[in-house]
A and B are shown apart, each in its own frame.
Chain A
Amino acid sequence: MVTAHPCADSFTHAAAAAARRGLERGGNDVTSLDLYALGFAPAMSPAERAAYHTDHPLIDPLTSEHARLVQRAEMLVFVYPTWWSGPPAILRGWLERVFVPGVAFRFDARGKLRPALTNVRQIVGISTYGSPRRYVKLLNDGGRRMLTRALRLNCGWRTRTRWLALYSFDTLGDTDRAAFLDRVERSMSRRRGGA
């Protein structure tokens, strides 16, 4: 489970905690990565870019450790606030720096991408949106598409996706927010999607 929000007392962190409770109730073994708390550097460095197409693209101990976790995971859960139609830069950077060739995909002899995350059976996104649902759809919902399409293509054929979204977040009251946390916990305690 990967969380991306700069403030430890954020609603995003509350949603991550609810997801974790649900997952543990469902008998899952959970590893959490709180990217801001870990001090994760968002930008792929020039040295990492130079190593990207070599046999050893992971040159930072932290990204190597995260790559090992990803390669063992059966479920990837992303918890973040949607900013600018997508995940915060720190989470985009996590994909750039950890999901490198040999981890998320490999190039075949013709230079085409082949999936390497066949261990991942499910991708889950949990996100808050400032905008109403209709406006999110109009703007394209970039974060959801990135995770449930682009990332999903690097997994196996049978990998499922689950999306738990709270729209119009800025104008919602406490009751709606609490109801969402319950929904997250309930959903994550189950193997399959559905609220």
Chain B
Amino acid sequence: MKSLVVYCHPDPASFTAAVRDRAIGALQSRGDEVRVDDLYAQGFDPLFTATEREHHLEHGANPAVAPYVDDLLWCERLVLVYPTWWSGQPAMLKGWIERVWVNGVAWELPAGANRLRGRLRNVRRIVAITSHGSSKLSNALEGEVGKRMVSRTLRSLCHPLTRTTWLAFYGIDTATDDERRRFLDKIERKLS
């Protein structure tokens, strides 16, 4: 399978980076062809511009993000690796969605409709791997915004049979080293 890993964390020495490495290793060990977009390291600009807004009903992305569009249209499995901040995806990753998942790439809007029609039929699997500072209970109370963003909003534009996998590490702020190791092992197990 062709797997695209979109990784988002400003610190190359973070736990999220360790998660990314384990995920990539597991995907490669099962024979996947893997591409990685490291948004911070590649200097992705998350700002959806006024020009992009003015042209957002026309097909096509800003040429500045063309390599990211190519990767998204290439992959069959999309793997998002990021920390959960303010109940959802970091601004950097949110900006990747705003600028790359545009009209003519991820969706189209038929005349007179107010719901998008999905175009990413190449994507069959979505895997989100994230960590939450707070507990599973508080995230449930807050409404699991990031999870729904992936399993409902993004998924709705992919192939109708796309399956989503949610791998979340809750309570990382108070977790022990042993718990962190177990989570990394779980990532490897689930992806290989």
Binding site for B on A (CB under 8 A): 5-7, 10, 36, 41-46, 48-50, 83-86, 88-90, 92-93, 95-96, 99, 107, 110-113, 130-132, 135, 138-140, 142, 145-146, 149-151, 153, 168, 170-171
> For B48, what are the chain A residues with a Cβ–Cβ distance below 8 Å?
6, 83, 88-90
Q: Is the CB of B88 within 8 A of A86?
A: yes
Q: Is the CB of B11 within 8 A of A89?
A: no
In chain B between 115 and 156, which residues have their CB closer than 8 angstroms to a CB of chain A?
A: 115-116, 133-134, 138, 141-146, 148-149, 152-154, 156
The closest CB in chain B to the CB of A49 belongs to: B10
CB-CB under 8 A for A113 and B134, given A93-B91, A146-B86: yes
Tell yes or no: B163 within 8 A of A by CB. Answer: no
Contact B92 A140 (CB under 8 A): no
Ranked nearest first, the 10 interchain pairs of A and B with the lowest CB-CB distance are A93-B91, A145-B143, A89-B95, A140-B148, A6-B50, A142-B145, A89-B94, A42-B91, A49-B10, A46-B10
B141: A residues at CB distance < 8 A: 149
With the chains together, A179 CA to B38 CA distance in Å?
44
Cross-chain contact B145 with A89 (CB below 8 angstroms): no
Q: Is the CB of A46 within 8 A of B114?
A: no
Where the two chains meet, the residues of B that have a C-beta atom closer than 8 Å to any C-beta of A are 9-11, 40, 46-50, 52-54, 85-92, 94-95, 97-98, 101, 109, 112-116, 133-134, 138, 141-146, 148-149, 152-154, 156, 173-174
Instruction: Please state if A145 and B87 are interface contacts (CB–CB under 8 Å).
Output: yes
